[in-house]
Amino acid sequence: MTKHISGLGEIIDHFVGILIDQFGVLHDGKTVFAEALPCLRKIAGVGLPVVAITNSGRMKGPNRQRLNRFGFTEDLIGEVITSGMVARARITDMLAAGDLVPGDKVLNLTRENDTTVLDGSGLLPSDDPADSIRLVLISGLSPEEITRETYRQMLSPLARAGIPAICANPDHVVYADGKAAFGPGRVAQDYEDEGGGVTYAGKPGPEIFRRSLAVLGDPDPGRVLMIGDSHHHDIAGAAALGCRTLLIAGGVQALSAAEGVLPDYSLETLRF
């Protein structure tokens, strides 16, 4: 049964480390939530290490820069683990196995022309579905400009042709211009529905959680608290590895169905 708490300070003594989601918990992509920074400062004050674990289709660098810009500096969030990093590891494996070779073209669905997952791989990012594509990388979308159906129509020929896809951000819901919109995870599902194969990198998969726990020194997962706003990605994913979980009930993804997985704790908005 979920225990409703009024602040993180009620339970903080039970844990040796914190995993925390970004979007919907700390900020909405543009604005920091009112009590998030004071909460992180108090966590730092009691000496608890914090790792940001995020379904961002970018590598660590851009996410670290964003967190720093918002005030979540290294003294508050010591490390950042992204789904983009997990996607890059998958691409490295595909290159090692010969499933991809340097010079292959990758349809790079992203925001702001970000190529960090592909940088240095030898693969060539493209925005043209007709450009002899060997891999589809779904890491960021423009739902404020392009409809989900338009994405489906654009990607359907590649899916039917058997071109593999990696979803580097499995989130179903994202913030776009401060509003909830469909996320890359939904477009990846549509790709599967059209017959394409998709590898999902990030939450709720175990690899991103294992990487994050390793940063904390591989403690007993039961002594680690995952704070997130998604039942499916944050709560279910962390619980599968034995972590305790706290749902931020006011987050944009908390509105989706619980899918049979209940958090250990709930809190309307992140506060200490």
For the stretch 110-139, pLDDT in tens is 998 999 999 999 999 999 999 999 999 999
Q: What CA–CA distance (Å, rounded) separates 135 from 123?
A: 10
Task: Evaluate the CA torsion angle 178, 179, 180, 182 in order and state its sign.
Answer: negative
pLDDT of residue 137: 98
Of 26-40, 199-213, 236-250, 252-266, the one with minimum mean pLDDT is 252-266
Q: What percent of the chain is predicted at pLDDT more than 90? A: 88
**Is residue 257 over pLDDT 90?**
no
Can you name the residues that pair with 166 across neighbouring β-strands? 137, 199
pLDDT of residue 100: 98
pLDDT of residue 28: 87
Cα 87 to Cα 114, 139, 215: the distances in Å are 14, 9, 18
Q: What CA–CA distance (Å, rounded) separates 53 from 56?
A: 9
**Is residue 254 over pLDDT 60?**
no
pLDDT of residue 94: 98
pLDDT of residue 259: 59
Q: What CA–CA distance (Å, rounded) separates 213 from 18?
A: 9
**Is residue 1 over pLDDT 70?**
yes
The pLDDT tens digits for 40-89 are 999 999 999 999 999 999 999 999 999 999 999 999 999 999 999 999 99
Q: What CA–CA distance (Å, rounded) separates 180 from 113?
A: 21
Q: Is the peptide bond before 204 cis (omega within 30 degrees of 0)?
A: yes
Q: What CA–CA distance (Å, rounded) separates 242 from 209?
A: 10
Query: What is the layout of strands, in order, in the sheet containing 198-200?
Result: 124-126, 105-109, 133-138, 165-167, 198-200
Query: What is the layout of strands, in order, in the sheet containing 50-54?
Result: 3-4, 265-267, 244-248, 224-228, 17-20, 50-54, 79-82
139 SS3 class: coil
pLDDT of residue 252: 61
Which residue segments constitute the domains of the chain, with CATH numbers given?
3-55+204-267 (3.40.50.1000), 84-200 (3.40.50.1000)
pLDDT of residue 12: 97
Q: State how beta strands 17-20 and 50-54 pair.
A: parallel
Under 8 Å between Cβ of 223 and 192: no
pTM as predicted: 0.92
**Is residue 258 over pLDDT 60?**
no
Under 8 Å between Cβ of 122 and 97: no
Instruction: Indicate the length of the chain as a whole number.
Output: 272
The pair of three-digit structure tokens given for residue 106, joined into one six-digit string: 């990758």
**Per-residue confidence band for 152, with pLDDT thresholds at 50, 70 and 90:** very high
Average pLDDT over the chain, rounded to an integer: 94
Q: What CA–CA distance (Å, rounded) separates 103 from 101?
A: 6
Under 8 Å between Cβ of 16 and 48: yes
